[in-house]
Amino acid sequence: MEMSKAFWRNCCYLLAWICLGYSSYSHAQFFHSATVGDVSKSGKSILLNRGMVEGLKTGVRARFYQDEAQMNFVGVGEVVKVNDNYSFWYFSNIPEQLRPRPSQKLFFAVEEDVLRGRRPLKIVQTKSVQARDRDEVDQENLIPNDLIQKQNSHLEGERAVKTK
């Protein structure tokens, strides 16, 4: 059963790689390749040879993958410091066996780029639409009529609580 799950998961990753990364256009748009420079002793901090020139900024998050053929997921990293040609990344949760090694090639997809999509979205005009029963508003209280409840029946309790 476990072999079957792993097989189908790898098939899904391969299909995603084919759909998103096979053509040069989409590969250039979503996936970036980088070479690991240095790795900290804990293996959670790395130095990549990509920086501000490639559009990276401090605080950017990305999903990292190993091995172009299988696209093994490594973890989610965040840019800590960026220079022109290199950047420092931190992985908060990364398994021991998947920790990057110096001079290893990694592939990463910046979350902003993936969420934004392929085409730029330009919003020209926005309009707020309310339901018909919400159109009439009490001008004194500025509260919609369907939210106002009026009752004249009051029940007297067993004990009256007096306030000062």
Ordered domains of the chain (ranges, CATH): 31-115 (2.40.10.340)
Q: Which of 8, 111, 118, 99 is nearest to 60 (CA)?
A: 111
For residue 44, count CB atoms less than 10 angstroms from its CB and return exposed for 0-12, middle for 13-18, buried for 19 or more.
middle
* pLDDT one-digit tens code per residue, 44-71: 899 999 888 888 899 999 999 887 677 8
* pLDDT one-digit tens code per residue, 130-143: 666 555 555 666 66
Phi, psi of 123, deg, nearest 5? -95, 120
Determine contact, residues 113/73, Cβ cutoff 8 Å: no
Residue 106, token pair as written in the block: 């990694």
Return the percentage of the chain with pLDDT > 70, whole number.
Answer: 60
What 3-state class would DSSP assign to 25? helix
